[in-house]
Structure 1
Amino acid sequence: MKKRIDEFQIHDKHYKQILDRVKNDPYAQSLGIQLTKFEAGFAEAVLDVQSHMVNAHGTVHGAVIYALADHAFSVACNAYGKTSVGLSTTIQFIEAVKPGERIVARATETRRNFRTGFYRIEIFHGENPVATMEAVAYRKDQYFVELEDQE
Structure 2
Amino acid sequence: MNPRRKKRLAVILSILLGISVTVGLMLYALSQNMDLFYTPTELVDGKPNGTKPEIGQRLRIGGMVVAGSVKRDPESLRVSFSLRDVGPEVTVVYNGILPDLFREGQGIVAQGILKNSTTVEAFEVLAKHDEEYMPPEIAEAMQKNHQPLEYSEKQLKGSY
Q: TM (normalized to structure 1)?
A: 0.27
Q: Which has the higher contact order (CA 8 A, sep 6+)?
A: 1
- Higher relative helix content: 2
Bigger CA radius of gyration: 2
- Higher relative strand content: 1
Q: TM (normalized to structure 2)?
A: 0.26
